[in-house]
Amino acid sequence: MGEVFVLGAIAGGIYGLFAVATVLVYRGSGVLNFAQGEVGTLGLFLAVWLINDHGMPWVVGALAAVVVTTAIGVLFERFVVRKMGDAPRVSVAVATVGLLLFVLSGELVRVGASPKSLPGPFSGNGWRIAGVVVSPTQALSLVVALGVGVALATLLRRTDFGLGVLAAAQDPSAAQLVGVPVNRVSAFVWGAGAGLSTVACLLVAPGLGAFAPGALGRLFLFGLAAAIVGGLTSLPGAFVGGLVVGLVEASSGRIFAESSLPGVKTLAVFILLLVTLLVRPHGLFGTRESRHG
């Protein structure tokens, strides 16, 4: 039981980060950015290139990855999302599918399909908690997830710009009419979403061992599920959703450990997603808002 909880919490922190990235963009633009996971993966390959191939320190490589992917998010907002104006939100989502495939196929061409690996920021054996070995990077991922949560909450509630982000999410035209620069808000959420996804990827990569283009798609999907379970509009909900998905994944893995059914974890999360959408479409903490109808 304790083992399930530890595993679930570690995975849940990562899903929570992906989910927060998703929720930010959804609140700011009413769109799900399907490309986030793969943009984060692109950041990983950049970090691999800088750290492994050019011997830079981990922090430098990671920072570069976050900065570059954030820029990709901002540029995509500036030249695609903003151009689409009032177009149906599904159309904007399809454009993010284009970005996803663009990045994915670009990686395949430039990096190739053979897996790469990235070390963690720390070496060391980690700790044994409830029978699970927790690596330093995994511990860090939980700390970062919590830190990001607190930092975002502070930014959004304590600064004028942050309040503007919340206001634009609730009512974009009213936000514009009190003077909030909605274009800058939009650029911020797309950039922050891409950057946060990269952070999640950087923290999960050492635990994965090796990864090829597209390999983090499943984790990002679990992050999407976490965002929906949490309500898609709620930032705390995103972390709770991440934890729920992590726990469902870990416990299904344990319960069906003997089963011959492959991919039980994916199946369990799929069922969790369907049940959430059909029974409680606005999730655990979401508000019923009609704006993005």
Partner 1 sequence: MSEPVLEIEDVDAGFGASQILFGINLAVAQGEIAGVLGLNGAGKSVTMKVIAGLIPAWKGAVRLNGRDITGLAPEQRVGLGLGHVPQGRQVFPELTVEENLRLGAYTLRRRDKSRYAPSLAATWERFPKLYERRRQAAGTMSGGEQAALAVARALINEPTVVLVDEPSAGLAPLIVRDVFDTLKQVATTGVTMILVEQNVAAALQLVDTVTLLQTGTVAWHGPLAELDRSMLATRLGIGRMLGPSTAAAANKRAVKKKAVPEKKPAAKKAAPAKKVAAKKTVPQKAAATKKAAPRKRAT
Partner 2 sequence: MSWLNARPGTRVIVVGVIAALLAPALGRAGIVTDYAALILGTGVALAAAGLSLNLLMGYAGQISLGQASLLGVGAFASGLLTPATKLGLPFLVAIPAAALAGAAAAFLVGLPALRLRGLYLAVVTIAFAFTMTESLLKTQSIGGGSAGINLPRPQVNDFIFTRNADYLGVLLALLAFIWWFDTNVTRTTLGRAFRAIKSDEAVAASFGVNVTAYKLGAFALSGAIAGIAGLMSGHLVQTVNSDSFPYDRSLLLVVVVVVGGLGSRVGVLAAAAFYALYPVLMPHLFGDRILGYDVVIGAALLIVTMARNPSGLAGAIRQQLAERRERAVPTVAPTGGVMAMPKLPSLPRPTALPERPTADGIVLSARDIRVRFGGLVAVDDASIDVTRGRIVGLIGPNGAGKTTLFNAISGRHKPDSGRVELLGVDVSSRSAAQRAAAGLGRTFQNIGLVRDLSVNENFLLAQHTVAGYDPVSALTYFRHAGRGETELRERAAQAIAALGFERYTDTPVANLSIGQQRIVELGAVLLTAPEVVLLDEPAAGMAPAAAENLAERLVDLRNELGRTVLLIEHNIPLVLATCDELYVMAAGRVIAHGTPDEVIQDDLVLEAYLGGAVL
Residues of this chain that bind partner 1 (CB under 8 A) = 157, 160, 163-164, 166-167, 170-171, 173-183, 287
As measured in angstroms, the least distance from the Cβ of 119 to partner 2 is 27
78 binding partner 2? (CB under 8 A) = no
Q: Tell me the CA end-to-end span of the chain in Å, nearest whole number.
A: 41
Cβ contacts of 3 within 8 Å, gap of 6 or more: 130, 131, 132, 250, 254
92 binding partner 2? (CB under 8 A) = yes
As measured in angstroms, the least distance from the Cβ of 6 to partner 2 is 24
Placement of tokens 């709620």 in the chain: 234
- The residues that bridge with 116 in the sheet, in sequence order, are 211
d(CA 24, CA 86): 19
d(CA 12, CA 230): 12
**Residue (108 or 153) nearer to partner 2, CB:** 108
d(CA 96, CA 10): 28
Please count the other Cβ atoms lying within 10 Å of the Cβ belonging to residue 210.
Answer: 11
Which of 20, 32, 72, 182: binder of partner 2 (CB under 8 A)? 32
**Residue (180 or 247) nearer to partner 1, CB:** 180
Q: What sign does the CA torsion over 106, 107, 109, 110 have?
A: positive
Going by C-alpha positions, the residue among 187, 170, 193 that lies closest to residue 33 is 193
As measured in angstroms, the least distance from the Cβ of 88 to partner 2 is 8
244 binding partner 2? (CB under 8 A) = no
Residue 221 binds which of partner 1, partner 2, none (CB < 5-8 A, kind-dependent)? partner 2
d(CA 204, CA 140): 10
As measured in angstroms, the least distance from the Cβ of 3 to partner 2 is 23
Range in contact with partner 2 (rule: CB under 8 A) among 42-50, 98-106, 166-174, 181-189: 98-106
256 binding partner 2? (CB under 8 A) = no
As measured in angstroms, the least distance from the Cβ of 133 to partner 2 is 25
261 binding partner 2? (CB under 8 A) = yes
Range in contact with partner 2 (rule: CB under 8 A) among 117-125, 140-148, 220-228, 239-247: 220-228
217 binding partner 2? (CB under 8 A) = yes
d(CA 76, CA 53): 28
Site for partner 2 (CB under 8 A): how many residues?
A: 50
**Residue (30 or 162) nearer to partner 2, CB:** 30
Buried b (16+ CB within 10 A) or exposed e, 71-94: ebbbebbeeebeeeeeeebeebbe
Where do contacts with partner 2 occur on this chain (CB under 8 A)?
31-32, 34, 79-80, 83-84, 87-95, 97-102, 104-106, 108-109, 214, 217-218, 221, 224-225, 228, 260-264, 266-267, 269-270, 273-274, 277-278, 281, 292-293
